[in-house]
Amino acid sequence: MKRYLFVILALLQTVSTHAQDGGVSTEKDESKSLLVTGNTDSWFAEGVSLKNSRQFVLYPVKDNNKRKLPAGFLEHQRTIIKKKLQSAGVRIVPAAEDSKSTVIKLIPVVTKYEPGSVGDRWIAPGMGVTICIMRMTLFRGKEVIGEIISWQQVAGGGLFSIGADEYVPEETAKEIARALLAKVRK
């Protein structure tokens, strides 16, 4: 019984953390909700090194989702990636500088977003899934040098998963930025 109570309290703490600031997680809170599951993977061309790369052009996030995304969604995703990169010392330069050979172009794309339903998740785990899939392609000049793909989801949790439609896409954008920073630091 104590074990279940501990799990419930941990879930409540996670949900209350995301409920602060209207469901928008802050940069000081780097913890991922216990309800969010997913994976991030990256591919880079042979011999490509981003070590010490410090100048990137971050283009607006494109929408390849089948349904129209909420207003401001794409710009919010871009802002999350940009802040995460800048806080790590990466310089985001204007698109006019993308012709320089040292500048890496980043083109993020949302390929799928489903806001899901808290009610459906309450009725049966697996129903009402909130999911966000995002891909970022990296270019040096016109050559594709890498790609990062991340998917994050909340598939259960019922009322504990309130706000997943906001924090799942945010977590997806953060994971994309983390994967890029890992390659920059290698």
Question: Would you list the domain boundaries of the chain?
Answer: 35-185
Q: Which fold has domain 35-185?
A: Double Stranded RNA Binding Domain (3.30.160)
79 pLDDT above the threshold of 90: yes
- Residue 110: name the closest of 137, 83, 145, 84 by CA: 137
Residue 109: how many CA atoms within 13 Å on its side-chain side? 12
The residue among 53 and 154 whose pLDDT is bigger is 154
pTM of the entire predicted model: 0.78
- Main-chain dihedrals φ then ψ at residue 145, nearest 5 degrees: -110, -10
How far CA 39 is from CA of 8, 42, 150, in Å, comes to 24, 10, 6
- Residue 163: name the closest of 31, 55, 18, 57 by CA: 18
Q: Residue 180: pLDDT band by 50, 70, 90 thresholds?
A: very high
Which pLDDT does position 160 carry in this prediction?
A: 79
In this prediction, what percent of the chain has a pLDDT beyond 70? 79
Q: Residue 86: pLDDT band by 50, 70, 90 thresholds?
A: very high
In this prediction, what percent of the chain has a pLDDT beyond 90? 44
CB 153 within 8 A of CB 133: no
